[in-house]
């Protein structure tokens, strides 16, 4: 039967129109369910990116407040110099312990007001190595007079590093306590550069800047050095100059012993006991100083797995500290800008889970937004991209310009790789952050040190090398996923996003491949030498 015009319209509305509109409604709802979280994540990341710009601004705005080692407000006379205890917490550090002890024994400070504690929790040959080295320096060694050095060994790791430091304080004589990790080599003048700042009675801690013994060892160590420089120049510099809270970095710093006790002592319920104690001390009124011009060299991790272990410990520890400390800070009578900076500092690692979410939403968002034109991209995507991503490059470029005014421009060559490395850490650090958020406890994993400084120098990494299980394979799989997004961006002529997406591909594949392959060639080439290698430095 033929339908008239009225019947045809009624038939279309009945059989097709409602279904078509229902389909469009469902598709739009699907779009919203993907795009809303996508833009929420991008906006949150943009806020953390804007905070990097703020730190640069604080650094330059408050330049007049910079503390310098050669210009303390007050000084001790020679007869008033306080007693100093040097604490060296170690755990399985057989390749670097002799270098550390020798450097500390050469510190320029009166020996009648000075002692060194080697706080050893080791479970391997380091116990014998460290004990013998201490005995030699205590008796007079390498042309030195007998040194005031003692060896303290614990048979358990209760409290890990915090527990060892606390145990050492029980027998320490010093009014001031300096701490050095095993991979550091403090220069002889370090104590005298720091000590006079404690002539101000309100100063509770002085932190100095880390420098790098082996930044030229490999491409990885060069990028690691730039990352740490950004932290020590702009984060510490910006916070300390503007008078907000900042943290002791666990090493290369000196504490007033009274400050530690008044703040509640070393506590081991977080993996960043240094940051935890720092916030507690500043909450009870102690002032901290940061001396950017006092350098203390240290060894950078030479393997990707060691670097990931270090970064994951810091990420988890800061979130743990945030859960513990932030409620107290926010309820305190501290100024608003101090509270805000504490929030940004202690929650910054939440960006890693957000990056994973962004990674998963990126391809669907690209497909859904394939209709957008250049105008929408310039108005929406470009500002978010500039805030969340470009802030990283400017942050590290400025720090290198401050440290190396004549050669800082070379950093441009490392910026893409630096950003890619940050992306590649997201899987490991996301796991660490989620463990902290859900209260999953883990042991204090020390970063292995191998005592290598020159490019191509053979390491003894196999002794302490660790694997990261399935994580590198996940990184490789995510890299493949982003390869597909690059292909889709090119296919849809969305060329603006290709360089950004390529950073994800490179970052995930670089960290994943290095984790899987690092050390394999070395093991195969040195397997025949294993029986001939000494487990500790020659001459001990």
Catalytic residues: 121, 274
Tokens of 228: 């740490």
- Planar angle of CA 149, 152, 156, nearest 5 degrees: 160
Percentages (nearest 5) of helix, strand, coil residues in the chain: 60, 10, 30
Give the single-character DSSP code of 95. T
Tokens of 517: 């392959």
Closest CA to 183 of 228, 230, 235: 228
Question: 188 and 108 in contact (C-beta within 8 Å)?
Answer: yes
Residue 82: C-alpha distances to residues 72, 119, 254, 311 (Å): 16, 22, 12, 36
Question: 329 and 339 in contact (C-beta within 8 Å)?
Answer: yes
Q: How far apart are CA 87 and CA 75, in angstroms?
A: 24
Tokens of 117: 């504690």
Q: How many CB atoms lie within 10 A of CB 215?
A: 19
The region that residue 404 occupies, defined by phi over 0 for left and psi between -120 and 50 for alpha, beta otherwise, is: beta
Q: How many CB atoms lie within 10 A of CB 15?
A: 10
Residues 6+ apart with CB under 8 A from 138: 146, 147, 148, 149, 150
Q: How far apart are the first and last CA of the chain?
A: 106
Q: How many CB atoms lie within 10 A of CB 135?
A: 12
Cβ-in-10-Å burial (0-12, 13-18, 19+) of 392 comes to middle
Q: How far apart are CA 429 and CA 314, in angstroms?
A: 9
Give the single-character DSSP code of 332. S
Identify the bridge partners of residue 114 per DSSP, sorted by sequence position. 84
């Amino acid at each position: 039967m033929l339908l008239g015009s009225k019947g045809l319209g009624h038939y279309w509305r009945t059989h097709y129109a409602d279904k078509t509109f229902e389909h469009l409604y469902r598709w739009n709802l699907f779009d919203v369910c993907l795009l809303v979280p996508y833009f929420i994540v991008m906006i949150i990341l943009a806020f953390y990116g804007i905070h990097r710009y703020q730190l640069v601004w604080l650094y330059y705005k408050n330049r007049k407040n910079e503390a310098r080692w050669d210009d303390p407000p007050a000084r001790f006379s020679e007869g008033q110099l306080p007693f100093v205890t040097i604490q060296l917490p170690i755990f399985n550090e057989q390749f670097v312990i002799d270098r550390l002890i020798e450097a500390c024994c050469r510190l320029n400070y009166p020996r009648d007001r000075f002692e060194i504690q080697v706080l050893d929790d080791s479970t391997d040959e380091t116990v014998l190595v460290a004990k013998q080295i201490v005995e030699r320096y205590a008796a007079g060694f390498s042309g030195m007079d007998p040194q005031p050095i003692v060896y303290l060994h614990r048979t358990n790791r209760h409290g890990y590093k915090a527990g060892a430091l606390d145990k050492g304080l029980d027998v320490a004589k010093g009014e001031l306590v300096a701490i050095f990790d095993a991979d550091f080599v403090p220069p002889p003048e370090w104590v005298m550069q720091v000590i006079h700042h404690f002539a101000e009675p309100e100063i509770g801690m002085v932190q100095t800047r880390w420098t790098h013994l082996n930044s030229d060892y490999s491409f990885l160590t060069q990028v690691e050095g730039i990352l740490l420089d950004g932290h020590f120049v702009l984060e510490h510099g910006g916070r300390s100059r503007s008078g907000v809270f900042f943290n002791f970095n666990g090493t290369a710093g000196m504490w007033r012993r009274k400050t530690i006790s008044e703040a509640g002592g070393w506590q081991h319920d977080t993996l960043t006991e240094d940051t935890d104690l720092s916030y507690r001390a500043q909450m009870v009124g102690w002032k901290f100083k940061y001396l950017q011009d006092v350098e203390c060299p240290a060894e950078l991790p030479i393997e990707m797995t060691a670097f990931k272990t270090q970064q994951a410990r810091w990420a988890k520890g800061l979130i743990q500290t945030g859960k513990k400390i932030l409620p107290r800070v926010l309820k305190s009578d501290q100024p608003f800008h101090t509270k805000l900076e504490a929030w940004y500092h202690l929650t910054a690692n939440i960006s890693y889970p957000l990056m994973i979410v962004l990674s998963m939403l990126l391809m669907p968002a690209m497909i859904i937004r394939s209709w957008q034109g250049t105008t929408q991209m310039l108005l929406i995507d470009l500002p978010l991209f500039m805030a969340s991503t470009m802030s990283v490059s400017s942050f590290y470029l400025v720090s290198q310009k401050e440290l190396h005014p004549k050669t800082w421009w070379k950093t441009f060559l490392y910026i893409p790789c630096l950003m890619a490395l940050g992306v590649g850490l997201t899987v490991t650090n996301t796991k660490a952050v989620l463990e902290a958020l859900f209260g999953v406890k883990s042991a204090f994993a020390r970063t292995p040190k191998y005592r290598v400084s020159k490019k191509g120098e053979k390491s003894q990494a196999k002794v302490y090398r660790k694997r990261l299980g399935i994580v590198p394979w996940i990184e490789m799989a995510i890299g493949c996923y982003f390869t597909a997004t690059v292909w889709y961006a090119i296919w849809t002529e969305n060329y603006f996003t290709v360089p950004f997406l390529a950073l994800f591909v490179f970052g995930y594949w670089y960290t994943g491949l290095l984790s899987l392959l690092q050390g394999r060639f070395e093991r195969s080439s040195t397997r025949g030498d294993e029986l001939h290698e000494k487990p500790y430095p020659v001459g001990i």
